[in-house]
Amino acid sequence: MKLFSEKMNVPFNLFYNIVGDSIYTLDEKSPEAVTFDSSQSRVLQNLIVCKSSNQGKDLGGKMILMDAYSNAGLASEYIIFLQDKKSPYKIQNEEWKRKLFRIIDPVFIQEAVTTFQNNKNIGIVAAAESILNEWDHSDQSYKSNNKRQLLNLQDQYKIYTKDHLYIAGTMFWARAVTLENFFAKNNPLDIRSSLEKGNVMDENSGSNTHAWERLLSWLITSQGYGIKGL
Amino acid sequence: MINRIFFVADETSLLGNQLPDEENVFFSVRVDPLDEIKLKEIYKFTIDNPRLPIALTLSLTGKLPHETIRLLTSFFFLDSSLRIDNKPVINIMGDNPEILSGIEIHLKDYCKLQGLDEVIVNTIPGILNQSLNYSTARSPEEAIRLYREFLNLRHFGTGTLFTLLTANDNLHDLLKSLASEDLGLDKEFTGLSDLIVKCRLLEKETTYLKRKLLLNEKELANQKQYQDILRSQHSTRQLQDYYNNEYEILPKWYKQMGHVLKVIMGKRTLKSLFRDDVKKYRD
């Protein structure tokens, strides 16, 4: 909460999900929910706190928040996806996290808004270093453990992209209308029900959860919008 | 309160926003679940009133479509919706037991798909099917009578009373009257209410510790998984491969030149080229 208050300098609604079945949140009393007073914040307009089970990792949480976004009727111009990034098995995890959180630095915010305003065909703005591409031209397929899930889900949800770029870590700015369009037809909770429970990893085999990490970008680019890295 | 009480109102404005916190007293809004506009209004109310956790009470007359079941599940994810023992709560009421049980199954099935394995679904008894420890009051007077009956039947913490409120009811006074029934119990059995409170605290602590144990076991399994990945050839192997390909394959004289360059650039101390017992790199 403090992080957002310090960094955000434009009016925003905060949709915040806590994973309930975790030892790290067992004693958490959601102080934000109890103490939030909109008059105390210059830029925070509304605070919506959700508590979820550990399903679909951060993607499961994002689906719950997209559902809450839709139910609460608090339409916005842009949506920023963030998460408390904890991947203790990754080398240089802290450095990666710092880079990803750069997207809510005041300078980045200014640049992101300007980029969206000046380029109507941009759907995603992200930290440049988080933009990846797993498309293997020689194989004409994805070089990923999640290849099977990706192809199935692309067919199921008709998400076809030309350039296959996606935002690793799923922290990025999105033009809200693109997400609203997609989730109006494909309910986020129904999608979440197909995500794996618990601490799912894709080191040895694929998962729907990790496939959706890619699809969350592609559902925007498949609507004809581009990605801009800053 | 010794026994559990749900105050059920048709409007959120009738609920106890101004009441002090009272153990075992819960609030609920009755709604026709097919009325999506009303459901969304209550959803917004739940978000805006985190100090007043509420559960929905569904008036059921027929089956519910999947979209409605899904919207009801959305409530369970709101942090400000009512949870008892960490489980989401919903009440259902209606005249047809088959419909009620069908909806309970449908709802619980969808919740399981969402990782919500334990949801409390209370069936509010109708006039004809009051049970020994589940009762419904339709007026404050009836609420007091039924609550007294609970105590007379020795329901100490096992009774649940649903009280349907109307705009004319004074919630503050009603709660005070019900609380005085609990106090009356102490006159008959000295110290009983204290024992019940202590028992409840111990039960809460046991539930908390069981949950803590379960979550610690999960976390241990997670940590083991991380360890396995670290020991395997994933990230560390990638780093090693990168080092080998980018640096290790270079000729020795080239690497040695690199160390001299480091000294020239001020990154490394000159002495460290010849001795191992001096500071090697500058901060």
pLDDT digits (tens, 9 = 90+) for A103-120: 988 899 999 999 999 999
pLDDT at B238: 76
Residues with Cβ within 8 Å of residue B49, at least 6 apart in sequence: B12, B17, B80
Nearest CA distance, A93 vs chain B (angstrom): 11
Strand segments (E) across chain B: 4-9, 25-31, 54-59, 83-84, 87-93, 120-123, 134-137, 160-164
Look at residues A3, A15, A95, A92 and name the one whose alpha carbon lies nearest to residue A61: A15
pLDDT at A79: 96
Interface contact flag, B212 A26, Cβ < 8 Å: yes
pLDDT at B31: 95
> Max alpha carbon distance in chain A (Å)?
57
Rg of chain B in Å (alpha carbons) = 31
Cα–Cα distance measured from residue B4 to residue B21, given in angstroms and rounded to the nearest whole number: 14
Instruction: Name the residue facing A73 among B40, B114, B239 (closest C-beta).
Output: B40
Residue B224: pLDDT band with limits 50, 70, 90: confident
Burial B171-185, CB ≥16 within 10 A → b, else e: beebbeebbebbeeb
Highest mean pLDDT among A141-155, A182-196, B199-213: A182-196
Cα–Cα distance measured from residue B206 to residue B137, given in angstroms and rounded to the nearest whole number: 32
A16 bridge partner residues: A49
Percent of chain A with pLDDT over 90: 51
Range B161-188 average pLDDT: 87
B44 close to A (CB below 8 A): yes
pLDDT at A41: 66
Interface contact flag, B78 A22, Cβ < 8 Å: no
Cα–Cα distance measured from residue B56 to residue B84, given in angstroms and rounded to the nearest whole number: 13
DSSP 8-state class, residue B64? -
Residue A168 pLDDT exceeds 60: yes
Cα–Cα distance measured from residue B73 to residue A35, given in angstroms and rounded to the nearest whole number: 26
The whole domain housing A30 covers: 2-229
Interface contact flag, A33 B79, Cβ < 8 Å: yes
In chain A, the residue whose alpha carbon lies closest to the alpha carbon of B234 is A203
* Digit-coded pLDDT (tens) for B269-283: 999 988 888 888 876
Coil/strand/helix, residue B142: helix
Query: How many domains does the structure of chain A reveal?
Result: 1
CA dihedral B239, B243, B245, B248 (to 10 degrees): -150
Cα–Cα distance measured from residue B140 to residue B124, given in angstroms and rounded to the nearest whole number: 17
Please tell me the least confidently modeled range out of B18-27, B93-102, B257-266.
Answer: B18-27
Residue A66 pLDDT exceeds 90: yes
Residue B104: pLDDT band with limits 50, 70, 90: very high
pLDDT at A33: 45
In chain B, the residue whose alpha carbon lies closest to the alpha carbon of A21 is B215
- CA–CA distances in Å: residue B189 to residues A16, B75, B154, B194, B199: 48, 41, 11, 10, 16
* Digit-coded pLDDT (tens) for B249-263: 999 999 999 999 999
Range A42-59 average pLDDT: 89
Q: Which of B70, B114, B220 to mutate to test the interface with A (most CBs of A within 10 A)?
A: B114
Interface contact flag, B79 A49, Cβ < 8 Å: yes
Query: Which chain A residues are closer than 8 Å to B79 by Cβ?
Result: 18, 30, 33, 49-51
CB atoms within 10 A of CB B100: 19
Residue A34 pLDDT exceeds 60: no
Residue B241 pLDDT exceeds 50: yes
Q: Which of B42, B43, B73, B74 to mutate to test the interface with A (most CBs of A within 10 A)?
A: B74
Q: 120-159 in B: which are within 8 Å (CB) of A?
A: none
pLDDT at A45: 86
Look at residues B143, B176, B190, B183 and name the one whose alpha carbon lies nearest to residue B162: B143
Contact in structure between B156 and B196 (CB atoms under 8 Å): yes
- CA–CA distances in Å: residue B235 to residues A222, B106, B124: 31, 44, 56
Please tell me the least confidently modeled range out of B15-29, B39-53, B61-75.
Answer: B15-29
Interface contact flag, A71 B73, Cβ < 8 Å: no
Mean of the per-residue pLDDT values of chain B: 88
Instruction: Name the residue facing B80 among A49, A64, A89 (closest C-beta).
Output: A49
Nearest CA distance, B36 vs chain A (angstrom): 10
User: Per the structure block, which two tokens stand in for A128?
Assistant: 């440049």
Residue A28 pLDDT exceeds 80: no
Interface contact flag, B215 A22, Cβ < 8 Å: yes
Mean of the per-residue pLDDT values of chain A: 86
A190 close to B (CB below 8 A): yes
In chain B, the residue whose alpha carbon lies closest to the alpha carbon of A38 is B48
Q: Which residue has the tokens 């395997």?
A: B232
Residue B13: pLDDT band with limits 50, 70, 90: confident
Range B34-39 average pLDDT: 94
* Digit-coded pLDDT (tens) for B118-127: 999 999 887 6
Interface contact flag, B229 A89, Cβ < 8 Å: yes
Interface contact flag, A71 B74, Cβ < 8 Å: yes
pTM of the shown model: 0.83
Burial B157-169, CB ≥16 within 10 A → b, else e: bebbbbbbbeeeb
Residue A215: pLDDT band with limits 50, 70, 90: very high
Please tell me the least confidently modeled range out of A63-72, A82-91, B65-74, B101-110.
Answer: A82-91
Please tell me the least confidently modeled range out of B64-73, B119-128, B172-181.
Answer: B119-128
Please tell me the least confidently modeled range out of A79-83, A96-100, B57-61, B103-107.
Answer: A96-100
Instruction: Name the residue facing A90 among B43, B70, B235 (closest C-beta).
Output: B235
DSSP 8-state class, residue B2? -
Q: What are phi and psi of A48, to 5 degrees?
A: -120, 115
Instruction: Name the residue facing A72 among B47, B225, B230 (closest C-beta).
Output: B47
Residue A76: pLDDT band with limits 50, 70, 90: very high
pLDDT at B242: 85
Q: Sign of the C-alpha dihedral, residues B149, B153, B154, B155?
A: negative
Query: Which chain A residues are closer than 8 Å to B218 by Cβ?
Result: 21-23, 198-199
